[in-house]
Structure formats: structure tokens, C-alpha cells
Amino acid sequence: MTSEYNDKYLHEFLILKWIEMDFIINRNQFFDSIFLEEDLEYKSHARYFNSLTKYNGLILPVFDFNTFLKDTFGSGVNNTFNIGLICSISLFSKINQSLYRNYILKEKIDITQKYLALKINVKAGIKRIPLSEIRLIPTGLREKMNQEGVLGCRFTIKKNIQYFVDIETIICKFLREKG
């Protein structure tokens, strides 16, 4: 891929490898990962929050990112093992932190306000990607897709597309819908 920019601007992303397309997530949006072997089902007010997991003695709600991606992009993945990315709520914007606190209060169960887990398929890997390879969404669709949490895309040598997604925007959209 040719680049008009200096490729020294590398950044770490997590690449989720699905069948028809891939997804890339900023590595800074999570700080740890766990196996989701014993996640407990529960009925939440917010869509895609349908299980709980334990992390360092805390109970975390799990956002089912796999199902969200399948529902939204119509894509699938060839693996059934899942892991949980641990995201710190303190990295959210002030407005979204408040939104999350309100969600926790409504749930009326003992779950932490500090972290949440994002359920993803284990078929993923961290890679340093030159920012010059990531393209903005074309102008006509940019505002709408940014609001939905799709910030850009990248085309790979294998002629595949990778969507650059913002997990905070995606999660908070569902907290807001049911909030």
C-alpha cells in the first residue's frame, strides 16, 4: 500500500479476524484480557450486556462484542473460544462515565463501576499499524458512521477490509438507548 505520510507514526491495534472482514481496536482502549470460561448469564437493561464475569475479585458486566459485530456487519468468525478485554471506565469521556454510572445504578446488582469486559473471539492479534494506512470514511457517510462507532477503514494486501471501531462509542450507544 502506498503512503503519502511518514510511516513512523505507528500505533498498536488489536485486529479481530473475522471471515468477510476484520475489525481493528485501539490498543489503548483496554489494558488486560481474560478467558471467559465462567461468565454468568444475567438480564440487563442494556442490549448486548448479557453476562457477568470476575476480574481481580470484582464482578464485571460483559458486553457481547461478538454478537454486536455479527448483528451489525453480518459477518462471522471461525472460532467459538472467547476472551474478555478489560476496559477501564476512567478512560471514557466524562459524559460517558456518568452514563455508565447511571447504568450500574439501574442494574441493582453488585457490579463494579471501574471496569467492564468486552467479549471478543480469541482469533485476534495485536499489531503495530502505520496510521497512514488507515483511511477516513468517505465524507457523505463519515458523520453517521462515526456516531455509530466506525471511525475509518484499512485495506490489506489480501484485498480485505478492516473497520476501525471505537468501543466506547459502541458500548455507550446501547447504554443510552436503554438508559
Residue numbers of the site for another protein (CB under 8 A)?
1-2, 20-21, 72-75, 135, 137-141, 143-145, 148, 150, 153, 155, 159, 161
Residue matched to cell numbers 467492564: 116
Q: Given the complex with another protein, which of 49 and 163 has the nearer CB atom?
A: 163
Buried b (16+ CB within 10 A) or exposed e, 146-179: eeebbbbbbeeeeeeebbbbbbbbbbbbbbeeee
- Count Cα atoms within 13 angstroms, Cβ side, for 162: 22
Give 124's strand partners: 16
Q: Given the complex with another protein, which of 23 and 115 has the nearer CB atom?
A: 23
CB 63, min distance to another protein, A = 17
CB 137, min distance to another protein, A = 7
Strand ranges, E, within the chain: 10-17, 22-26, 32-35, 40-41, 49-55, 58-64, 82-88, 115-121, 124-130, 135-136, 150-155, 161-165
CB 93, min distance to another protein, A = 21
CB 120, min distance to another protein, A = 18
CB 163, min distance to another protein, A = 9
Q: Given the complex with another protein, which of 107 and 166 has the nearer CB atom?
A: 166
CA 107/CA 14 separation, integer angstroms? 30
How many CB atoms sit inside 10 A of residue 105's CB? Answer: 9
Q: Given the complex with another protein, which of 83 and 150 has the nearer CB atom?
A: 150
Q: Given the complex with another protein, which of 34 and 130 has the nearer CB atom?
A: 130
